[in-house]
Structure 1
Amino acid sequence: MADQVKYTQKLKGKKVLVIGGSSGIGFSVAEALVENGVTVIVSSSNPSRVEQTVAKLQKAYPSSASRVSGHACNLGDEEKLEANIVELLEKTGKCDHIVHTAGDSLAQMPLAEIDLSKIKQAGMVRFFSTLLLGKHAPKYLTGGRESSIILTTGGVSERPIPDWVVVNGYATGLHGVCRGLALDLKPIRVNLVSPGAVNTELWANAGMSAEQAKGMFQAFESKMPTGKVPGPEDLAEAYLYLMKDNNITGTVISSNGGHYLV
């Protein structure tokens, strides 16, 4: 007689779209989903990176190659943003969950240097796209409390950093977007992950050298109760949990190594 399978295969057979799945946290989420028996569609703005990511996942999981695909979607184009999101959802078709980890270069800048155009562009990928995703996603989700949208903010939303006022505004605003969408889209669930410092390509993309990143991580680790800046594979667990728990919505999961305690 076979054992019951009540907890370990909750995601098996599901279909998940990972927007921003070509690198960093999004890529680790995609890996974790494949390992959990999920059909995964990865998306990012660069078509070649999408192709490379699909190939990388298929090579790592050859027995699951047929369950991995991808589509490019540019979230940085203001004029075409809504149309691009709808096109992506049309290509994806019905799915059970949508994960949004997409981001561009962090727009840290002194207050004296900001203007309206910089403010708008800084929020295009990380903020405005989430609202338009919330507008259109319900049509493409299987629905009910077993479906969800998971958004991503950052630790700056909980602990501000000098010269990050624009990023801080959008990051904090995503807490409100999460709660508002959880009400507007019910019973579809909407949640938010707030990572602290994570060792990903983000820092190099922001112009930080490997040596500078190493020094920053060491400074964090000297204070963090866990003593370690995590890799994206640690953060992936938060997204899996939010998909599995059909009772959680409008909630923020803050994974920061206890950094905010000190």
Structure 2
Amino acid sequence: MSGAGTFSGQRVVVIGGSSGMGLATARAAAAAGAAVTIASSSQARIDAALAELPDTCDGAAVDIRDEAAVADLFARVGGLDHLVYTAGDAVRPQPLADLPLDEARKLLDVRFWGTVTAVKHAAPRIRPGGSIVLTSGTVAVRPVPGAALAAGSAAAMEGLTRGLAAELAPLRVNAVRAGAVRTPLWDPVPEPQRTALFASLADRTLTGAIGEADEIAAAHLYLMGNRFVTGTVLTVDGGALLTGAR
């Protein structure tokens, strides 16, 4: 994790910053000296997040699917140094044959097209030396049955990362490929099943544990701070991709 003052005087915008990995990243960036703006679709979640963040943070409820609203957000923010995008709806495993395509398209509206929209309007305002950090998942390279949509979305994010790094250079663009991480996205799973699921996922890693949101935040801050890294997808998964399908 970057130390206090590392991002002093910088502005960081976290889309999806009201919970989970985004909130952890906002907290870590603020602790490292940044002024942070968080955005998500829910004003109630924004208010709850700001209640636990320092006074150097602010927030806004924004429908990331509404380009005019996203453009207005970045117009109000003005100049910034780093954009971090973690927003996304939970994807329920479902066989392709049972997948309503209208619902599938809506999921990509936030995860993929929301990213494109945010980058389009943030990039011209990012100051020299700044960066964009996106978020994918290990499902991009190790899908399971019923996760074709999630795998396609995550893989698209990784391709977008490399394409944007080339197109927007010298602005740096990277992504964190997260493994299984304990976040509120798991909350709909009843507690006994969730505990068993976490234990099963932990057993598939080399570290014997699933990830915590703070560990993903540390990876986000590393990519923000290292000016010689761009076009990179950084895997943070406890070694799960090395274990095989055990």
Query: What's the TM-score bracket when you normalise by the shorter of the two chains?
Result: over 0.9
CA–CA separation in structure 1 for the residues paired with 2:204 and 2:113: 34
- The answer to whether the Cα contact below 8 Å between 1:18 and 1:26 also exists between their aligned partners in 2 is yes
- The answer to whether the Cα contact below 8 Å between 2:133 and 2:175 also exists between their aligned partners in 1 is yes
**3-state DSSP class of the match of 1:96?**
strand
**Which of 182, 196, 218 is the equivalent residue of 1:237?**
218
- In structure 2, the partner of 1:226 is 207
1:183 shift after superposition: 1.0
1:10 shift after superposition: 3.2
- Normalised by the length of structure 1, the TM-score is 0.88
Amino acid at match of 2:53: L
CA–CA separation in structure 1 for the residues paired with 2:59 and 2:231: 28
CA–CA separation in structure 1 for the residues paired with 2:5 and 2:53: 20
- In structure 2, the partner of 1:43 is 39
CA–CA separation in structure 2 for the residues paired with 1:42 and 1:259: 30
- In structure 2, the partner of 1:13 is 9
CA–CA separation in structure 2 for the residues paired with 1:261 and 1:53: 35
1:8 shift after superposition: 6.5
CA–CA separation in structure 1 for the residues paired with 2:227 and 2:240: 29
- In structure 2, the partner of 1:138 is 123
Note the aligned Cα RMSD (angstroms). Answer: 1.4
- The answer to whether the Cα contact below 8 Å between 2:6 and 2:33 also exists between their aligned partners in 1 is no
- In structure 1, the partner of 2:71 is 86
1:248 shift after superposition: 0.7
- In structure 2, the partner of 1:166 is 149
CA–CA separation in structure 2 for the residues paired with 1:260 and 1:190: 23
Amino acid at match of 1:123: L
Amino acid at match of 2:161: C
Which has the higher Rg, Structure 1 or Structure 2?
1
**3-state DSSP class of the match of 1:26?**
helix
- In structure 2, the partner of 1:152 is 135
**Which of 191, 195, 201 is the equivalent residue of 1:210?**
191
- The answer to whether the Cα contact below 8 Å between 1:107 and 1:166 also exists between their aligned partners in 2 is no
- In structure 2, the partner of 1:56 is 52
- In structure 1, the partner of 2:97 is 112
CA–CA separation in structure 2 for the residues paired with 1:8 and 1:52: 24
- In structure 2, the partner of 1:69 is 58
CA–CA separation in structure 2 for the residues paired with 1:48 and 1:223: 36
**Which of 58, 80, 86 is the equivalent residue of 1:95?**
80
- The answer to whether the Cα contact below 8 Å between 1:72 and 1:88 also exists between their aligned partners in 2 is no
CA–CA separation in structure 2 for the residues paired with 1:147 and 1:222: 38
**3-state DSSP class of the match of 1:84?**
helix
Amino acid at match of 2:175: L
- In structure 2, the partner of 1:182 is 165
- Determine which structure has the larger strand proportion and give its number: 2
**Which of 201, 205, 208 is the equivalent residue of 2:184?**
201
CA–CA separation in structure 2 for the residues paired with 1:154 and 1:84: 27
**3-state DSSP class of the match of 1:147?**
strand
Residue deviations 1:106-130, cap 9 Å, x none? 1432111224312211201110111
Q: Which runs of 5+ in 2 are unaligned?
A: none
**Which of 17, 22, 28 is the equivalent residue of 1:26?**
22
CA–CA separation in structure 2 for the residues paired with 1:119 and 1:222: 30
Greater displacement, 19-28 / 88-97: 88-97
CA–CA separation in structure 1 for the residues paired with 2:231 and 2:192: 38
Residue deviations 1:39-78, cap 9 Å, x none? 01111100121122112213xxxxxx1x111111112x4x
Residue deviations 1:88-147, cap 9 Å, x none? 1112211100000111121432111224312211201110111122222222211x3x11
CA–CA separation in structure 1 for the residues paired with 2:73 and 2:85: 13
